[in-house]
Amino acid sequence: MADNRYRITERVAAGGMAEVFRGVAESMRGFKKNIAIKRILPALTKNKKFVAMFLDEARLSLSLQHANIVQVFDIGHSEDTYFIVMEYVDGIDLKALLDWRRRINKRIPVAHSLYVIMEICKGLSYAHELANQDNDAPLGIVHRDVSPPNVLMSKQGEVKVVDFGLAKATSQVEVTDPGVVKGKMSYLSPEAARGEEVDSRADIFAVGILLYEMLTGKRLFYGETDYQTVELVRNAKIPPLRPQNPQVEPELEDVVRKALSKRKEDRFQSATDLQDALAQYSYSRGLKVISRDIAELVRQCLEDKRMQSGEAKPVKPSSIIDHLLQDEIVKFTSVDFEDPGAQPLLADELSNRSGPSPSVTEGDFVDPRGWAEERLTSPAQDAADAKALEARRTSKDPGPPAAAVAPPAPRRAERMRVPTAENKAKRPSPAAPIESTPGPEALASILEPTPGPQMSGAERSAGAPRAMPSPRHAGRSFLIGAVIGFVLLGAAAATFIAKRNLPGGLLAPHAPQTP
């Protein structure tokens, strides 16, 4: 049953995987709550692997409840797309903050950078260490996409990580989908760039990239192409920080470099360890920052954004797209994970192969080498096809070998010739027999042959039923026959007049004289 408790108010952002809307959740007695509605693009939901991974991770994201993680309230579907209803964070993301500081040519203060990174570590540590409530087994949650757009900061100075439910599913998007993973290559870990299995230490490497970029104000791994970016990540060569920011002390640079170690065994083994190292440095240097200081940064960024776009923000009228999206929200139905139809696909349903699960890129491509082999190794089928083609030949076809069969159009044109005094003397060749002077019905049957096999003379004499032509073909045949009949009648009349007007001696070679 569809739920009508969600209503879209405005579009907030759009990307290669989803678009985000601001909405309102309404319940009994007029209670309203601001929410964020993320709509997964329908093109991605056609990928069964993506949907399976998305539902699997979404079930875990519903259980994540932490102050530094954006809470997910509901997950539903409407026709061919999925929606994620989550907590609305009124503020900016880390990408907007970095872009603003680069534009005004100022770096984020060191103390503020360390505070934001420590808040991120709190949320990641909670997710990484979350265990199953039934048997206390670790769930092994890895975000896999810790990047500036997925770090939100509110007007109250809160720092929250978002999109745990989409991180693993993103790996199942085919590489032929342009724009889906563009821009995220810069925040991969070396082992992820090599296609190896990742764990929580891949998220620690991504946090190290964020800290480096906040301290320097520059991108760490950024090539002209995606391939160059991936190569930079694989090599993991870290330029020195102090030449780019004199406020970075050697002790802090050592912490950053340890988080960005190429070998995951050399990094901090947990997000809590990284948080502890940053807190130790901050407290030893007296770098005091609270949420009020982060809120001031957010306020300044939003104020600058309003100045750039203009004070008065025009109210856009509702478009057809907005109405269609609202109709989809009206049809919103929450996913019931207890329903077998909503369960993620099993491994044997995702792939026909047996044994260990394939890598991410395996199975995304089709090997065409087997197509020709299948065709060449089935002679029996080829022979059956040839016999069926031979059986479809009509009785009017002359019957030479297949390589010598002429196209039907020239053969029909040859049989349409009307016999005259000159071509009567020419004998038709056995390979292309010409019948006697055809009447209107015969010519009409040649020009408009009726579909289906032709009957032999014995079948016609036996009174076999004959297929009746359609009224359209019958009318056309009658018209063609009438025209040809008038032509023949005129030719006969002209011949008769010529015989009477010419001297008798000229007619001797053509007709015998009466004694």
Strand intervals (E) in 136-283 = 151-154, 159-161
Task: Tell me if 356 is assigned to some domain.
Answer: no
pLDDT, residue 488, reads 86
User: Tell me, what's the pLDDT at 150?
Assistant: 92
% of the chain surpassing 90 pLDDT: 34
What lies within 8 Å, CB to CB, of 81 at 6+ separation is 39, 40, 41, 42, 45, 328
* Residue 462 clears pLDDT 60, i.e. is over it: no
pLDDT band at 318 (very low <50, low <70, confident <90, very high): low
Whether the pLDDT of residue 293 is over 90: the answer is yes
Q: Pick the more confident residue, 201 or 464.
A: 201
C-alpha distances in Å from residue 147, one per residue of 94, 152, 189: 8, 10, 12
Mean per-residue pLDDT of the chain: 73
Evaluate whether residue 320 is within a structural domain.
Answer: yes
Backbone angles phi, psi at 11, to 5 degrees: -85, 135
The CATH number covering residue 24 comes to: 1.10.510.10
Q: What is the pLDDT, as a whole number, of residue 507?
A: 47
Q: Across residues 507-513, what is the average pLDDT?
A: 48
pLDDT given at position 253: 96
Rounded CA-CA distance 95/112 in Å is 15
Report the pLDDT value the prediction gives residue 241, as an integer from 0 to 100. Answer: 94
Q: What is the DSSP letter of 171?
A: T
- pLDDT over 70, % of the chain: 60
Give 74's contacts (C-beta < 8 A, 6+ positions apart).
84, 85, 334
For 296-404, strand residue ranges (E) read: 333-334
What residues are paired with 82 via a beta bridge? 77
Per-residue pLDDT, 372:
45
Q: For residue 240, count other CB atoms closer than 10 A to its CB.
A: 11
Query: Residue 127: is it exposed, middle or buried by C-beta count within 10 angstroms (0-12/13-18/19+)?
Result: buried
Compute how many other C-beta atoms are within 10 angstroms of the C-beta atom of residue 324.
9
Confidence (pLDDT) at 473? 59
Better-scored residue on pLDDT, 149 or 371: 149
Residue 399 has pLDDT above 80, yes or no: no
> Which of the residues 56, 74, 90, 145 is marked catalytic?
145
Query: Is 145 among the residues known to form the active site?
Result: yes
Residues 6+ apart with CB under 8 A from 96: 301, 305
CB contact set of 138 (below 8 Å; sequence gap of 6+) = 129, 130, 131, 132
Residue 174, in any domain of the structure: yes
DSSP string for residues in 325-346: HHHHHHT-EE--TTSGGGSPPP
Q: Is the pLDDT at 35 greater than 50, yes or no? A: yes
In this structure, is residue 423 part of a structural domain?
Answer: no
Once rounded to an integer, what is the mean pLDDT over residues 94-105? 95
Predicted confidence (pLDDT) per residue in 341-383, tens digit: 444 444 444 444 444 444 444 444 445 445 444 444 445 555 5
Domain that holds residue 156: 6-332
In a domain, 46, yes or no: yes
> How many residues comprise the chain?
515
CA distance 396 to 72: 75
| Average confidence (pLDDT) over 382-387 | 56
| Domain membership flag for residue 10 | yes
Q: Is the pLDDT of residue 76 over 50?
A: yes
Residues 490-504: tens digit of each pLDDT: 888 888 887 776 655
| Residue owning tokens 């009124």 | 90
- DSSP character string of 249-297: -HHHHHHHHHHT-SSGGGS-SSHHHHHHHHHHHHHHHT----HHHHHHH
What local confidence, expressed as pLDDT, does residue 368 receive?
44
Long-range contacts of 388-393 (CB under 8 A, 24+ apart): none
Number of folded domains in the chain? 1
- Dihedral (CA of 202, 205, 210, 213) sign: negative
Q: How confident is the model at residue 340 (pLDDT cuts 50, 70, 90)?
A: very low
